[in-house]
Structure 1
Amino acid sequence: MSSFAILNTAFRGLSAAQAGMDVTGQNVSNVNTDGYTRQRVQQSAVAPLGEMGLGRLAQQTRNGQGVSVDGVARLGDLFLEARVRQTASNDGYASVRADAYRAVEDIHGEPSDNGLSAALQSFWGAWQDVANSPGEDAQAWVVIEEANAIVGRLAEGRGRVETAWDQSRTTAGSLVAEVNTAADKIAALNTQILNAAGQGGSVNELVDRRNQLTSELARLAGARTSDNADGTVNVLVGGNFLVDGNRVNEVRLAGSASLDGTAGDPVRLEWAHRPGAAVALEGGELAGHLSAMAPATSGGIHAQAAAGYDTLATTIANQVNALHATATTPSGAPGGSFFTFQAGKPAAAGLQVAVTTPGGVATAAAGGGALDGSVADAIAGLGVANDGPDAAWAAHVTQLAVRSASATQDATLATTASTAAFNDLLSHSAVSLDEETVNLMQYQHAYQGAARVLTAVDEMLDQLINRTGRVGL
């Protein structure tokens, strides 16, 4: 090989070493950049030139032509990245449901001195006091006040559940906007990656940004991705294209704007270009919110909580009214209904105390006389009845606690799996400063070696050109 060929080989070595240092510097610079995947220079040996012509020398040693920089590889892992998306989807769904159950449990506030259970006990105790002192205005006033306390707590509790539902719907609307925005960005990145790859440029940083967005979509809407041969990706939600290359099919939130309307018009996600076509979510935070806002018959967390309040209101009104209507007041008048419901409102929100004065509190059985407290005693006994209001409320609270504990456990497991998947991906693709330091030293030594080759060839050429034929000098 001629000296000029050696110069080219040394130059290629310098260029390869410099490219390696450039990429190492990029890695070090992005050691704290979220979503960045470390990169490596891809190199290959350049084969020697093929012999041509009749004047070739059969015994001449033919060396290669140095090294070629073939590109910059992104050291990601498709399997680990897919696992991160899948576990993020499960984590998003489970976490939202667990949060919804915790919020509903906080609203119920059981067991506590301020819960409905305590209010019910005070209510039955007031009836027992009336049974022991029939006709006394003071005890009758206590019954009315305790009844109003139950009415107030029922309305307040159900109202707070409705507020939690409203907040969940608002959050779901914000998540839908985030999904559409992320989808638009992915489609734009697909176009940029396609153009950059066609021009021979590096697309690694663009792919990193796109992967972050696809992971975000997985957590938000349980999105899945499929890779195309041209370097673009498709994003699917519920088996249908959210992103198809550079085209986006947006989604929108539809359904009832209130908790009580979900029975006939559940909140759902639809394709914006196909009104009425529901998106079958497979996971993600959106699916968690939609499940929490579902009707009670479909396992809706808020709707079931509201139904618990309505059931208690209906049970206590029906059972107290059934006994109170058979009783007589101290003046001998029929007792009538103790509770009534306001028309057009749910039971817990529309429950009212019909008796407003002590004289309207009926305690005596028909013909029992003004000092008879047998009916009041029977009403007080509802507190310990197997099918009484307390039993119904206790069953509701217990069921809620069991479901909440299960949801919390699911969320803990999902978060653990998601964290493990993310850590596995980081251990494979994140930048290690120790490793980059070693690489930098290797490239530095390679550069110095190639430069030394250039120096040696330069001295050889100087001897050949400037000193050939000058004997003795």
Structure 2
Amino acid sequence: MGSSFFGLEIGKSALQAQQQAMDITGHNIANANTVGYTRQSAKMTAKTVPLSGIFVPPYLKSVGSGVAVEEIQRLRDRFIDLQLRQESRIESYWSTIDEGLNQVEIIFGDPQESGLSNIMNNFWNAWQELSKTPESEASRALLVETANLLAEAFQHTHSQLVLTQEQFDEQVALKVNEINSYLEQIHSVNQQIIRLSAAGGNINDYKDKLDLAVDGLSKIIDLQVQEESNGTYTIILQGRVLASAKELNLLEAQVDPLSGFNQVYFQGTTQKIDFANQSGELKAIFDLRDSLLENYKSDLNFLARELIEEVNTLHQTGYTLQEPPAPGGVFFVGSTAEDIAVDPAISGDYRLVAASSTGAPGDGEVALRIAQLRESDFVNGANPDDYYRGVISRLGAERQEAQRIAENQSLLVDQLNMRKESVSGVSLDEEMTNLIKYQHAYNAAASLIRTLDEMLDTVVNRLR
């Protein structure tokens, strides 16, 4: 016959295991709305009696000895985590590109009335009107005013593109600081995990903090994440350890003297981060600052330069309205969209507009030729209006493509988040079901102990 005290030990282990499982369930319920929390579960195993030993009675060798909570598991799928970080990084890249191109669209302002296309159209129309009435003070004033508006539009658009570049350059430094903040957090949590593991504590909640920091970091820059056997993470970028339990190496932004823009380096070194094969927010900021915005700025400068040269060339073939008529000078000064302006002398004296080819009264031949530049293919094989429309069309197409990819990536990330939540998220309905299950098991274990207690009472107190 087996010992009744052994049955009490089995009941005790059952009570302890079910109580711990209920505590874990309660922890899940309490953190149902905690960002980054991973659902936990008690992994129970049956306790067995050793098969040998002089102190093990033969009748116990075929009987189990109860239950124990072997491990408190984090219910997390590492493959989904990897997919989610990769796709979130791509989504962040294209979302940032989309936002940047949206800013460029606002800067160009087309097809609004204040857009450069509409102002340039008014400029050609003003030359057309002047060719009809070359002696008209009103037509000359309108032309100079329209030309000033065109120059201001070029300058304003250029300055806004430069300002946007500078804003993205500031974002580089801000993103580097954000990366360093995540790295410091990961390093700190790694050290807490080491100390807690040495004391035999539960590190699951600390690993949630690690995963949350890595998720945020992965949206900014492409990194390698290596999980160590002790539960800590090692973050590696281009062969260098950035954060681990023992190491912390930060990044820094330094101004490149050649470009005048921030570049990213490993702190305390001259090694620059190579973003050629990168993705994420920081890569998108670099692409916007150094490539996309620079290209649109170059297109604008090219259009302004060609316009200045062609208008000035024709204007210098004409004659002014002075007495006697004098050869025309330059109409525009400057060489790019940054510094284009109407010649101050012309702005001060409208008679200096050289609309005539001969100086004879009523001759508006030069004004007509300049008006006809609208249809002349002198800007890289296209007329100025078509060239500018091509720039705007390319911008619209790039924005549309970025928007499409960003939306598709967002849908993909949402699906992955749903898969992740199905594994790691806390379902209150499921936790309530578990709570009832563990409660019934606890009550049954208590009934077992009560029954054994009654049996022992019969043996000890009631046998005569």
Q: Which amino acid is 1:90 matched to?
A: I
Structure 2 residue aligned with 1:39: 40
How far residue 256 of structure 1 moved from its aligned partner, in angstroms, is 4.8
Cα distance change, pair 313–227 in 1 and its aligned pair in 2 (3 A): same
Contact 1:43 1:69 in 2 (8 A): yes
Q: Which amino acid aligns with 1:283?
A: S
Within 5 A, what are the aligned runs for 1:127-276? 127-256=127-256, 262=259, 267-276=262-271
CA offset at residue 195 of structure 1?
2.2
Flag the 1:256–1:214 CA change in 2: closer, same or farther, 3 A. Answer: same
Q: Deviations over 1:393-450 (max 9, x none)?
A: 2222222222222222222222222222222111111011111111111100110011
SS at match of 1:306: helix
Match of 1:293 in 2: 289
How far has the Cα of 1:276 moved from its partner?
A: 4.0
The aligned amino acid for 2:212 is Q
Structure 2 contact 183–248 (Cα < 8 Å) conserved: yes
Taking a change above 3 Å as real, the CA distance of residues 256 and 145 of structure 1, as seen in their structure-2 partners, is farther
Residue 238 of structure 1 deviates from its aligned partner by 4.0
Residues 56 and 167 of structure 1, relative CA distance in 2, 3 Å threshold:
closer
Give the match's secondary structure for 2:451.
helix
Specify the SS of the correspondent of 1:348.
Answer: coil
Q: How far did residue 266 of structure 1 move?
A: 5.3
Conservation of the 8 A alpha-carbon contact between 1:13 and 1:67 = yes
Amino acid at match of 2:311: V
Determine helix, strand or coil for the equivalent of 1:196. helix
> Which residue of structure 2 aligns with residue 303 of structure 1?
294
Task: Describe the shift of the 1:54–1:96 C-alpha distance in structure 2 as closer, same or farther (beyond 3 A).
Answer: closer
The offset of 1:232, in angstroms, is 1.3
1:168-197: CA deviations, max 9, x gaps? 122221111110011011011111112222
Residues 17 and 69 in structure 2, CA contact (< 8 A), matched pair in contact too:
yes
Contact 2:50–2:61, Cα closer than 8 Å, also in 1? no
SS at structure 1 position matched to 2:36: coil
CA displacement 1:39-66 (0-9 Å, x = unmatched)? 1111111112435449955x77731110
- 1:408 equivalent to 2:403? Answer yes
Moved more, 204-213 or 390-399: 390-399
8 Å Cα contact 2:97/2:288 also seen in 1: yes
Q: Aligned residue for 1:297?
A: none
| Per-residue CA distance 1:219-247 (angstroms, 9 max, x = gap) | 11123311122221111234533223331
Whole-angstrom distance in 1 between the partners of 2:315 and 2:30: 79
Matches of 1:247 and 1:396 in 2, distance apart? 49
1:364–1:449: structure 2 CA closer, same or farther, 3 Å change rule?
same
Q: Is the 8 A contact 2:356 2:366 kept in 1?
A: yes
Partner SS, residue 236 of structure 1: strand
What's 1:333 paired with? 326
Query: Offset of 1:140 from its aligned partner?
Result: 0.8
Mapped partners of 1:362, 1:269: distance in 2: 53
Change (3 A) 1:134 1:197: same
Match of 2:448 in 1: 453
| RMSD, aligned CA | 1.9
How far, CA to CA, are the matches of 2:336 and 2:96 in structure 1?
28
Q: How far is 1:216 from its partner?
A: 0.3
In structure 2, C-alpha distance between the alignment counterparts of 1:55 and 1:314, rounded to whole Å: 98
String of CA shifts for 1:127-174, please: whole Å, max 9, x gaps. 111100112211111110000000111111111112212221222211
Structure 2 counterpart SS, 1:66: strand
Equivalent position SS for 2:284: helix
Work out whether 1:282 is the aligned partner of 2:282: no
1:293-349 Cα shifts (integer Å, max 9, x gaps): 11xxxxx122122222212221211110010011111232011110011xxxx7212
- Give the equivalent residue in structure 2 for 1:384: 375
Q: Is the 1:88–1:418 Cα contact (8 Å) retained in structure 2?
A: yes
Partner of 1:6: 7
Q: Are residues 1:120 and 2:116 paired?
A: no
Residues 164, 76 of structure 1: alpha-carbon distance in 2 compared, 3 angstrom cutoff: same
Query: Is 1:363 aligned to residue 355 of structure 2?
Result: yes
* SS of corresponding position for 2:265: strand
The equivalent residue for 2:364 is 373
1:101 matched to 2:101: yes
Q: How far apart are the structure 2 equivalents of 1:289 and 1:233?
A: 27
SS in 2 for 1:50: coil
Q: What is the CA–CA distance in structure 1 between the aligned matches of 2:3 and 2:211, rounded to whole Å?
A: 49
- Give the deviation of 1:374 after TM superposition: 0.9
CA contact (8 A) 1:249 1:273 kept: no
How many angstroms apart in 2 are the aligned matches of 1:165 and 1:459?
83
- Equivalent residues of 2:51, 2:61 under 8 A apart: no
Instruction: Provide structure 2 residue ranges, at least 5 long, that are not aligned to the other structure.
Output: none
Identical-pair percentage: 28
Residues 81, 233 of structure 1: alpha-carbon distance in 2 compared, 3 angstrom cutoff: same
1:396 to 391, 394, 398: 391
Shift of the alpha carbon at 1:87?
A: 1.1
* Matched residue, 1:442: 437
**CA–CA distance in 1 between the matches of 2:85 and 2:238?**
15
In the aligned structure 2, how far is the partner of 1:52 from the partner of 1:146?
105
Deviation per residue, 1:186-218 (Å, 9 max, x gap): 011111112222322111100111100000000
What amino acid maps onto 2:287 in structure 1? S
Secondary structure of the residue aligned to 1:135 is coil
Q: TM-score, normalised by structure 2?
A: 0.93
Aligned length: 453
Call closer, same or farther: CA 1:41–1:54 in 2, change over 3 Å.
closer
Structure 1 window deviating more from structure 2 (41-50 vs 121-130): it is 41-50
Task: Check whether the contact 2:169–2:261 (CA below 8 A) recurs between aligned residues.
Answer: no
Change in 2 beyond 3 A, CA 1:55/1:183: closer
C-alpha distance in 2 between matches for 1:104 and 1:186: 37
Corresponding letter in the other structure for 1:134: P
Q: Which amino acid aligns with 2:110?
A: E
Q: Larger deviation: 443-452 or 412-421?
A: 412-421
Structure 1 gap ranges (5+): 295-299
- TM-score, structure 1 normalization: 0.91
Match of 2:417 in 1: 422
